[in-house]
Structure 1
Amino acid sequence: MSVKAKYQPVLDLGEKLAIKDGNVTEEAGVLKIKGEAATQYEKNLIWDKIKEIGGESPSDLKANITVSDTSVYHRHTVKSGESLSLIAKHYYGDPMKYKQIFEANTGILKNPDVIHPDQELVIPNL
């Protein structure tokens, strides 16, 4: 199996996330990946997939993933049935961090218990 085939799920995820300026080359059995993720959250998703396939320190892959918008951790479009605590658990692993999401969105939210589908929320850097 080629190293590119091994890491194909990473490349597929990069396409799904619309990573900009993507460049993939293979040299001497090492896959080199370069690109720009929209947010730190998307960059983390790419790295998590790399580690899932190649371990914590893969020797057959070098990646240089930058982030275009460092002012936020991510931007989230609310779906039906979601709450701030559910969103906080998804991004931070801690539902109690809903307060930070609320504070970052007081321009559109008046009550942390009331959010609506299709609202775009800032998920702040912690």
Structure 2
Amino acid sequence: MAIWDFVKDAGKSILGEAKASPAKADTESSKPAQENTAQAKAEALKKELRALGLDAGDVHLTLKGDVVKVESRGADRETMEKLILAVGNIEGISKVEADLPEDAKPQFHTVEKGETLSAIAKKYLGDANKYQAIFEANKPMLSDPDKIYPGQKLRIPQSA
């Protein structure tokens, strides 16, 4: 199982009230509340995956604090990489664990302030005009090539 780091304070905010910590209580009575909060967060993440068209019904998420474990039996490599990014690029998530095939070493890039898809394409693909390949590799998480933000992780396609 591999682990990818994400910027916890960057990303889409979908966790809403599920992110709020339970009211102060003793340890015994707060444990069910913490489990309910984790379940609510996991459900919010699943809802986001469904909205993106990335959950074919076989995706299982396990949430422990700000770490999400992603499991899917039917997902191919590209879909698993997109699942990792879709979950990791959510505000409040710092790490994503997932299994990928042994030969699969995805290339991800963390966006820095002031970067554009063209600059990223030039760096990885040798041609700024190949930004569209990076945009396509990150659909449906990206809806516009100009809407990337610092801290966001992007998939870099193997070939463009």
TM-score w.r.t. length of structure 1 = 0.43
Q: Which structure carries more relative contact order (alpha carbon 8 Å, separation 6+)? A: 2
